[in-house]
Structure 1
Amino acid sequence: MTKKGQHVVPNGNGWSVKKAGGVKASSNHPTQAGAVQAATQIAKNQKTELYVHGKDGRIREHNSYSGGLRTKK
């Protein structure tokens, strides 16, 4: 994970929210939807990016909250 912001990644038992470059998860969730919800709040508060990874680890969704307006890529 090299892109700045929050990343939702699979963790074996569910899904984790991790800060870019971080080793320890900010939070763990049984579902991806729960992790995305938590990561979205952090990204909005920090005005940063949100990256949602698939089970294969590849980024499948990217949302930006850096400009106050949400943009989805």
Structure 2
Amino acid sequence: MSKKNYFVVSNPQGGWSVKAGGSQRASANTSTQKEAIDIGKRLASNSNSELTIQGTDGKFRKKNSYGNDPHPPKG
């Protein structure tokens, strides 16, 4: 079974959504981006996957890996 990556994206109807990669439906809908990020972190952490966060300008601004990252940063 492949792991699902999660995305925090703006919702066209207002608010923010957490979506699993490849899914049409949201895993969660919230009124604030912070709530969506908190839920996305929990889901990504539980499945050892990655969370990508969309900014208010529509561009993806941040990416976090949870679990066994095959390419950890040096330092």
Band of TM-score, shorter chain:
0.7 to 0.9
Task: Name whichever of 51-60 and 11-20 sits farther off.
Answer: 51-60
Counterparts of 2:55 and 2:9 in 1: how far apart (Å)? 7
The 5 A counterparts of 1:17-32 are 17-32=18-33
Deviation of 1:57 (Å)? 2.5
TM (norm. structure 1) is 0.82
| 2:34 match | 33
User: How far does residue 67 in structure 1 lie from its aligned partner after superposition?
Assistant: 1.5
**Once the 2 structures are TM-superposed, how far is the Cα of residue 54 of structure 1 from its aligned partner?**
1.2
Q: Identity over the aligned pairs, expressed in percent?
A: 40
Structure 1: gaps (5+ residues): none
After superposing on structure 2, the runs of 4+ consecutive aligned residues of structure 1 that deviate more than 6 Å are none
Give, in whole Å, the separation in 1 of the partners of 2:23 and 2:67: 20
Residue 5 in structure 1 maps to residue 9 in structure 2: no
Please report how far the alpha carbon of residue 22 of structure 1 lies from its aligned counterpart in structure 2 after TM superposition: 1.0
In the superposition, the TM-score normalised over structure 2's length comes to: 0.80
Distance in 1 separating the partners of 2:30 and 2:40: 11
Q: How much has 1:55 moved relative to structure 2?
A: 2.4
Aligned residue pairs total 67
Kindly state the Cα deviation for residue 21 of structure 1 after the two structures are TM-superposed.
1.4
Structure 2 unmatched ranges of 5 or more: none
- Which secondary structure does the structure 1 equivalent of 2:19 belong to? strand
Q: Tell me the secondary structure at the aligned position of residue 18 of structure 1.
A: strand
